Homo-oligomer: A and B are copies of this chain.
Amino acid sequence: MQLSTVLNGVLLPALAAVLWQYGHLRRRAESAEAEAQRARESPLLAPADYDAAIRELHADGTTAVCTGKVHTDRICRFQHLCYWAPADEFLFFHGPGSVALPSLGARRFQPALLDLSTVDDHNTQYFNVVDLPVSSLDRLPRPAFLSDTALIFNRFNPENLMHVLHDDLLPAFYTLKQFGELSWNYTRLVLTEGWSEGPYFELYRLLTGRQPLLRGELSSLGDLLCYPRAYVGLNKLPTWYQYGFTQPQGPKPNLLVSGNEIRHFATFIRTQLNVSEPHTYSVNGGTSEPYIVLIRRTLNRLILNEAELILAIAQEFDARLLAISLDSHPFREIVRIVSGASALVSMHGSQLALAVFLPPGAAVVEIFPYAVNPTHYTPYRTLASLPGMVLSYIAWRNERIEDTVTHPDRPWDEGGITHLSAAVQERIERSVEVPLHLCCRHPEWLYRIYQDTRVDITSFLATMRQVIPDKLTAPTPVPVTPVFPSRVRVPRCKSVVDPKSADAHIMVTWQPPWNLDFLPPQEVQYEVWIQEEGENTYSPYILSALNHTFVENIHPGTSYHVWIRCLLGPSLQGPFADALTCYT
């Protein structure tokens, strides 16, 4: 066979086939990469995917499936949710494939489908959809499609760091975790409250690999913008504070978050900000020295003798004191500094939300102006006290009227009161404590909270001493989350009646919880409750052995219920085993 024959007859066709397949595979790989690149640049769906998306929208309409029985506890996953910019409304296209849970009946207007922010049931934060038949698409402009999965919510107050961290970032972080589909690379926050970027926008940027979209930007993508996949709403479980819209402000009831989840979030933010090592001070290049941070306010609610206070604290604790403010350093640097601090000192205010970045073992010292009761305003006290947060907290309150400077002539929302009647002004000025009140326009509260304060050094240092030992200590290691004992095993009860005396006993036995073997040695006790059937009260016993014979108040011919649980160390109560019933 001639070479040319081999070439033409066998090799070249084989080569051609291989080349074609190779080219095909390469083109596929390349086009996938090019597409990924385009997707990185534009928030809109790649043209290649457009036809399929619009076909699906026309064929199916919109779909929504939500968690939660009530609007305050609800997050919805939508397919083909659309936004109509000219009317500033979200649209639900009713088509043959549309489903909605909850169903889109009239109840969704009483008052809303869900809350767009973690602040409960606030009428500026309601989300709803406008219904349209899917046939309306023929009379609307061609929709644009967002390529990424959207997480849609309202920032509650993007200008206030406490609100930014507590209401938005922390909940959004956990909402992203909760829905595995919301992966970092393919999720875009859509912030719908309508504000501009605001001073903390860079923090919202950290949550996913995509630039967040603001409501004001949506119209630039097209009059009709559709989200193939969108989650609407936030997980409220990580929040710890309610701001007093329906009852005076305070910790949320039944807190479901611990310091561990806050710290995990703080670590994520640090990582995203590229803060690998906390700030340290070292003496002559040696080991790092503990330091205290004072966060200054620069516009209002001032500490009037700040320089004096700084010197006094530094001297008292023989420590370096760093005075910073939210605008003195880039946020990254602020996080770095707070992350290494042994204590944080500040006037009451949103800058204290930085305490989420404090290392375990640090102290928070919060200053309150005259006539403001620290126990009524506890966002930072509550934070510091969360189990596993391991921060000590103390409040100092200005008790001397001569050390306060009021601002009656300022606008009402900076504490001015001259717009009020003379009688009301006089009452406010004479009051020695702001009474409990609702958010957000209580004149006496605003008047008092916007006072400037001269801090009484002696009294302040004495207060600070209560949470800071003689010598500042370095941060303690991150605590591990507590490991609770599981249920006691093989719980049994047996009744014995002495035939002579007719005395009755109940003997209860059990085995230690299964997971005890894996835990470090610590004190183990058992709590046993015994209750006579039909009675409302029970008798609790704390025991160390694995059995107990009950003799007191045990009568023959009676049924008794018995519950047993394990107690580990000073505070960990395990679950009760199933109730036993024993008849004497």
Give A residues with C-beta under 8 Å from B. Answer: 3-4, 15, 18-19, 21-22, 25-26, 29, 63, 65-69, 73, 75, 77, 87, 89, 94, 96-107, 109, 128, 130-133, 135-136, 139, 149, 174, 177-181, 229, 235-238, 254, 256-258, 260-261, 264, 387-388, 478, 480-484, 486, 514-515, 518-519, 572-576
Say whether B131 contacts A483, CB under 8 Å.
Answer: yes
Contact among B22, B103, B387 for A261, CB-based, below 8 A = B103
> In angstroms, how far is the closest chain B Cβ from the Cβ of A389?
11
Question: Known contacts A63-B177, A105-B482, A131-B484; can you find 9 more A-B pairs with CB under 8 A?
Answer: A22-B22, A67-B67, A77-B178, A99-B260, A101-B235, A103-B257, A103-B387, A132-B518, A179-B180
Enumerate chain B residues within 8 angstroms of A89, measured Cβ to Cβ: 486, 514
Q: A18-B22, A109-B574 are in contact. Are A238 and B101 (CB under 8 A)?
A: yes
Contact B480 A94 (CB under 8 A): yes
Copies in the complex: 2
CB of A512 to closest CB in B, whole Å:
13
- Contact call B77/A572, Cβ cutoff below 8 A: no
CB neighbours (8 Å) of A572 from chain B are: 106
In the complex formed, the residue of B with least CB distance to A261 is B99
When distances are taken between beta carbons in the complex, the residues of chain B under 8 Å from A15 are: 15, 18
| In the complex, chain B residues whose CB is within 8 Å of the CB of A480 | 94, 133
Indicate if the CB atoms of B483 and A94 lie closer than 8 Å.
yes
- 25 A–B contact pairs at CB < 8 A? A3-B3, A15-B18, A21-B26, A65-B174, A65-B235, A66-B178, A73-B73, A77-B179, A87-B514, A99-B260, A99-B261, A100-B261, A101-B178, A104-B484, A105-B258, A106-B484, A109-B484, A130-B515, A131-B515, A132-B483, A133-B518, A136-B518, A149-B180, A179-B179, A179-B180
User: Which B residues are in CB contact (< 8 Å) with A573?
Assistant: 106, 109
Give the docked Cα–Cα distance between A122 and B128 (Å). Answer: 33
Residues B65 and A515 in contact, CB atoms below 8 Å apart: no
For A131, A139, A388, the residue with the greatest tally of chain B CB atoms inside 10 Å of its CB is A131
| Residue pair B103, A256 in contact (C-beta under 8 Å) | yes
Residue of chain B at shortest CB distance from A572: B106
What residue in chain B is nearest A3 (Cβ atoms)?
B3
Are A261 and B101 also in contact (CB < 8 A) when A26-B25, A109-B576, A131-B484 are? Answer: yes
With both beta carbons as reference points, the residue of chain B lying nearest to A101 in the complex is identified as B237
**A264 to chain B: closest CB distance in Å?**
5
Asked whether A515 and B178 contact (CB < 8 A) given A103-B261, A575-B109, the answer is no
The listed residue (B19, B66, B87, B235) touching A18 by CB distance below 8 A is B19
Tell me whether B178 and A256 are in contact (CB under 8 A).
no
CB-CB under 8 A from A101, the residues of chain B are 174, 178, 235, 237-238, 256-257, 261
Give the 8 A-B residue pairs with the shortest CB-CB distance, closest first: A103-B258, A102-B256, A109-B575, A180-B181, A67-B67, A136-B518, A65-B178, A22-B22
A278 vs B257: C-alpha distance when bound (angstroms)? 52
Interface centre among A26, A174, A484 (most CB of B within 10 A): A484
B106 touches A177 (CB 8 A): no
Q: Which residues of B contact A237 (CB under 8 A)?
A: 66, 69, 101-102
The answer to whether A25 and B18 touch (CB under 8 A), given A104-B481, A256-B102, A483-B132, is: no
